[in-house]
Amino acid sequence: MPRLNGAQIIIRQLERQGIRIVSGIPGGANLPLYDALAASSTIRHVLARHEQGAGFIAQGMARSSGQTAVCFATSGPGATNILTALADAYLDSVPLLCITGQVSRSLLGTDAFQEVDTYGMSIPITKHNYLVRSAAELLTLIPKAFQLAGSGRPGPVLIDVPKDVQSEMVTFEHWPEPCPVTDQQTGGTLGVEAAADMMNQAARPILYLGGGVIHAGAADEARRLSEQGGIPTVMTLMGLGILPSDHPLSLGMLGMHASRATNLAMEECDLLIAAGVRFDDRATGRINAFCPHAKVIHVDIDASEIGKLRSADAAITADARHAFAALLPRVRQRRRQQWNDRIGILQKERPRFYPDDFAPGRPFQLIRMVAELAGPESLISTDVGKHQMWVAQAYPFSTPRQLLTSGGLGTMGFGLPAAIGASLAFPERPVVCFTGDGSLQMNIQELATAVEQQVPVKIVVLNNQSLGLVRQQQRLFYEQHYFASSYGIAIDFAAIARGFGMEAVDLRGGGVDEQAELLRQAMRQPGPCLINVPIDIEEEVSPMVPPGAANTTMLGAEYVRK
């Protein structure tokens, strides 16, 4: 009969669950856990420099692979630091297991050193959470936590383990079965007949696809559905990559920074087939004015999303793969020439790109150049801000899970640690992190982790020496009262990277050909490399739907409120 302490039970179960990498930082209250981890021959520990970094490294692994990833933090500040990464995972439905140390049971509730109510604080930002009260509980609790994180609508699960529970010895009969890797909760097919009828009768349908389609592994089915029905398709930020960006039926991203033709086409549609989406305000604009003439089919594995913001005329509570598989044999093969021609006209009148967008030194040109050098196998993480929207608009995404980006929470500081995690999960694939100077400074300490782990991430800093999207909103909506949105000092990011032991290049001051050559060399580096790219502070993200306005109100770069 095995006789182990709580910490050993946790580590052994992570091994049995197939976990090979854990990111984290040790501290007073999780030392028994780290002692047990040190004895593991199969789990590699990645030491982050800040717990938020550890959380986002785990997210990078989970988002790129679709498998639950694990991160550790100690009690108190360790736990509060990692909460942002959990909130981020919650809003984007990323499967994560976070194990935090806690003060011993006898000290709980006494304001002990490094005690905070981690359980209470994590309730609103986790799918579920536990405060463990005995080591024996861990036997059933760990497989259950994996099952919760990865099944149905995925999400983060937190387990808070008091230090004395980690050290408590338990004798037990046998190990519980690990949680199965495949999701058992796929939903039902109620509503499929009604939905198929609506699709067959619609003249101007649009498929509206989000992260749920990617979580369900339903990109192929989505593409077949789109092609079979001749249905133009829009994607949320979280859904980019479901259809390749050059697919004839792809209208790209919808919403606040969509191309004009996409939002206008949605205004005209008579049926919205929404799958794995939650009608987020950045996608829909003012919800009452969103697709005003459309009936709605809503597919989601989370029943509470259906009818939350927009009532559905047909609802399928299932994961997108099973729903699409049931719809495909019922949806008639159609070309919908008239509707697609109409969209063609909208796109011709209001092109997604203008030739001038790709002039040397401009964001789109730089992003496309990186894309060419990185190749179709690459994984792309972004931070949050202008660069994120430029990447969403212009990067040629071709596969699901290729883009790792903080959609729901919009966390600056996400990009670098997420790229490290993606590279740990896929060491053979090129990984590029597009970031801004504002975002990079929010988790810049993880440059050390990238060097220490020798993950070959390429960090492209689109440096406009400002909080660009904030500044843009001040320009558009606050009478150009620029305040606290630009930085007073120019930071030498290349020198900082070198200080961490990382290769770095700076494109500042170079001519067009010289910059292209430097970029080529940097992207070829075998290890991690930072590339600083100066960007004009006046480069804007265009068009922009003002927050709270209808998606048909799209302001161009020239608009300024007088």
Partner 1 sequence: MYASNANAPSKSQGANTALLRLTVKNHPGVMLQICGLFARRIFNLEGIFCTAIDQGETSCIWLKVDETEKLEQVLKQLAKLEDVLAVEERSDAQGRFAELEAMLARID
Phi–psi pair at 472, nearest 5 degrees: -60, -40
Binding mask 248-287 for partner 1 (x = CB under 8 A): ----------------------------------------
The answer to whether 98 and 157 have CB atoms below 8 angstroms apart is: yes
Binding test (CB under 8 A) with partner 1, winner from 34, 119, 279, 493: 119
What radius of gyration, in Å, describes the C-alpha atoms of the chain?
A: 24
Would you count residue 314 as binding partner 1 (CB under 8 A)?
A: no
Cα 336 to the center of its chain, rounded Å:
33
Q: Largest Cα–Cα distance in the chain?
A: 77
Choose which of 18, 77, 180, 307 interacts with partner 1 (CB under 8 A).
Answer: 307
Closest CB 449 distance from partner 1, rounded Å: 33
Q: How many residues bind partner 1 (CB under 8 A)?
A: 13
Looking only at the bridges linking them, the beta strands covering 295-299 and 250-253 are unpaired
Contact between 457 and partner 1 per CB under 8 A? no
Host H or E run for residue 234: strand 233-235
| Shortest distance (Å) from residue 137 CB to partner 1 | 11
Nearer to partner 1, 165 or 507 (CB): 165
Tokens of residue 442, six digits: 């929010």
Rounded CA separation 239/235 (Å): 5
The minimum distance between CB 411 and partner 1, in angstroms, equals 19
Give the integer Cα–Cα distance in Å for 126 and 231: 36
**Neighbour-count burial of 31, counting CB atoms closer than 10 A to its CB (0-12 exposed, 13-18 middle, 19+ buried):** middle
- Select from 22, 61, 131, 296 the one that contacts partner 1 (CB under 8 A): 131
Task: State the Cα–Cα distance between residues 161 and 30, nearest whole angstrom.
Answer: 8
Part in contact with partner 1 (CB under 8 A); list of ranges 60-68, 296-304, 322-330, 509-517: 296-304
Query: Where does this chain touch partner 1 (CB under 8 A) — which range of 127-135, 248-256, 324-332, 443-451?
Result: 127-135
Using CB under 8 A as the binding rule, whether residue 127 contacts partner 1 is answered as yes
Nearest to partner 1 of 130, 364 (CB atom): 130
Minimum Å gap between C-beta 124 and partner 1 is 5
Using rule CB under 8 A, residue 105 touches partner 1: no
Measured from the CB atom, the residue of 103 and 148 that comes closer to partner 1 is 148
- Note whether 508 binds partner 1 by CB under 8 A: no
Closest C-alpha to 358, from 375, 372, 346, 339: 372
How would you write 61-75 as a 3-class SS string?
Answer: HHHHHCCCEEEEECC
Taking CB under 8 A as the criterion, the residue among 38, 123, 169, 203 binding partner 1 is 123
Q: Does 188 bind partner 1 (CB under 8 A)?
A: no
Which residues on neighbouring strands pair with residue 382, listed in sequence order? 434
Closer Cβ to partner 1, 120 or 351, answer by number: 120
Cα–Cα nearest to 314, from 293, 294, 299, 331: 299
CB of 119 vs partner 1, minimal distance in Å: 6
Per the listing, tokens 């003012």 go with 286
Of positions 2, 18, 77, 120, contacts partner 1 by CB under 8 A? 120
Q: Give residue 22's identity as a one-letter amino acid code.
A: V
Is residue 496 a contact residue for partner 1 (CB under 8 A)?
no
Q: Distance between CA 68 and CA 96 in Å, rounded? A: 5
Q: How far is the CB of 148 from partner 1 (least distance, A)?
A: 6
Contact call for residue 303 and partner 1 (CB under 8 A): yes
- Is residue 90 a contact point for partner 1 (CB under 8 A)? no
Shortest distance, CB of residue 100 to partner 1, whole angstroms? 15
Question: Is 124 among the residues that bind partner 1 (CB under 8 A)?
Answer: yes
Q: Does 148 bind partner 1 (CB under 8 A)?
A: yes
Shortest distance, CB of residue 145 to partner 1, whole angstroms?
A: 10
| C-beta of residue 409 within 8 angstroms of C-beta of residue 460 | no
Q: Which stretch binds partner 1 (CB under 8 A): 59-67, 185-193, 299-307, 407-415?
A: 299-307
**Rounded Cα gap, residues 117 and 88, in angstroms:** 20
C-beta separation of 27 from 75 below 8 A = yes
Cis peptide before 232 (omega within 30 of 0): no
With CB under 8 A as the contact rule, which of the stretches 122-130, 181-189, 275-283, 505-513 interacts with partner 1?
Answer: 122-130
**Residue from 302, 313, 357, 492 that binds partner 1 (CB under 8 A)?**
302
- Nearest Cα to Cα of residue 207 among 89, 339, 91: 339
Q: Which stretch binds partner 1 (CB under 8 A): 115-123, 245-253, 458-466, 488-496?
A: 115-123
CB-based contact 430:378 (threshold 8 Å): yes
Closest contact distance (angstroms) between CB of 318 and partner 1 is 15
Instruction: State yes or no: residue 350 binds partner 1 (CB under 8 A).
Output: no
What is the distance in angstroms between the CA of the first residue and the CA of the last residue of the chain?
77
**Can the peptide bond before residue 180 be classed as cis, meaning omega within 30 degrees of 0?**
no
Q: Indicate the angle between helix axes 219-229 and 320-327, nearest 10 degrees.
A: 30
CA distance 20 to 402: 22
Tell me, residue by residue from 363 to 402, as one string, x for binding to partner 1 by CB under 8 A and - for no binding: ----------------------------------------
Q: Which residues bind partner 1 (CB under 8 A)?
A: 119-120, 123-124, 127-128, 131, 148, 302-304, 307-308
